[in-house]
Amino acid sequence: MPIEIPKDKWPGSIKTVTIGATAAEGGTRAKTITIGGQNTMPFMHFENPISNTPVIALEIKSRKPEDWSALLAEVWGDAMDDPARWAKMAEDSGADLIVLALTLEDEPADAVAATKAVLEASGLPLIVWGPGQSDIDNELLVAVAEATKGERLVLGLCEDSNYRTIVATAMANDHLVIARTPMDVNLAKQLNILITDMGLPAERILMDPTTGALGYGIEYGYSVMERLRLAALQGDGMTQLPMIVTPGFETWKTKEAKVNEGVPAEWGDWLSRSIHWETLTAVSLLESGADIVVLRHPESVSRIKDAISELMMV
């Protein structure tokens, strides 16, 4: 007698979110990216078909970062001095999306110029986020949003201290936002409620529940993401948003990936170790429900694309 695999039936599903706009839709992107739509836990194909594949974003910056690992500077080279060249290299590396991270040194005009240069250099949908200080984030992102109306960028990062201005400019200029909270299910849900109460549809919000790198608290971040996905499938509307996470940022600041001086010889080759750290973190987060993973090294992109293909059974 054949064994029947037990299957859960979920009343809820993840909302579908589309990033970017083609010329026919009022933008300039060569393609759009659609994520979400799942009504089962990650990669459980035997329960329900998984409609949209998780995607990979590569992070670039508006100015050459001085605090990134020397390995990243080596692979990107002089392109780090020019966000347009960097964006084109990121597209050629196989990324589905580009993340442009603005800096504290940027003025609004600089932010707009960098964003437009990236949009001209690459046809991929674009995420733009500020340097992480509320007043400066607001100033830069408002300018970027107004200058790119209709492109359906994703703006971030909305936190409880600064979400109002970013959400308002996203609503006025037809963009999306990222809602970031510390690793906590209730805080994530509460910020989503506050943003939707302003009138932004849930289909224009991505959740960043925050994570750690492999060995640096990832097990807690994993469990929060898993609980968010379970709540969503059980019917909680304010957790039914696609998730974006930043394994690149988290892993390349760890000592195992960032530096090689003074580390034990048994840690092995620096480059191999660093890429393993990024890819293993990213795969773990895909398994916990991530719809977008933001990476920094092109070799990691290649490996994660292969992993996604295997998990999606294609």
pLDDT at 301 over 90: yes
pTM over 0.85: yes
Q: CA separation (Å) from 192 to 160, 206, 227?
A: 10, 9, 16
Q: What is the DSSP secondary structure assignment for residue 45, as one 8-state letter? A: T
- The angle at the Cα of 275, spanning 217 to 158, to the nearest 5 degrees, equals 50
Q: What is the pLDDT of residues 175-199, one digit of tens each?
A: 999 999 999 999 999 999 999 999 9
CATH ID of 17-311, from 3.40.50.970, 3.40.50.10780, 3.20.20.20, 3.40.50.10490? 3.20.20.20
Q: What is the DSSP secondary structure assignment for residue 208, as one 8-state letter? A: E
Among 243, 258, 267, 265, which residue's Cα sits nearest to residue 297?
258
Longest C-alpha distance within the chain, in Å? 70
pLDDT at 161 over 90: no
pLDDT at 217: 87
Q: What is the pLDDT of residues 253-262, one digit of tens each?
A: 999 998 898 8
d(CA 98, CA 1): 51
d(CA 195, CA 207): 11
SS (H, E, C) 96-112: CEEEEECCCCCCHHHHH
pLDDT at 32 over 90: yes
pLDDT at 1 over 80: no
Confidence class for position 2, pLDDT limits 50, 70, 90: confident
pLDDT at 262: 84
Higher pLDDT: 6 or 234? It is 234
Q: What is the mean pLDDT of the chain?
A: 96
Q: What is the pLDDT of residues 88-146, one digit of tens each?
A: 999 999 999 999 999 999 999 999 999 999 999 999 999 999 999 999 999 999 999 99
Q: CA separation (Å) from 230 to 57, 149, 236, 244, 286?
A: 25, 35, 9, 16, 15
Confidence class for position 314, pLDDT limits 50, 70, 90: low
- Rounded average pLDDT over 227-246: 97
Phi and psi (nearest 5°) for 125? -60, 155
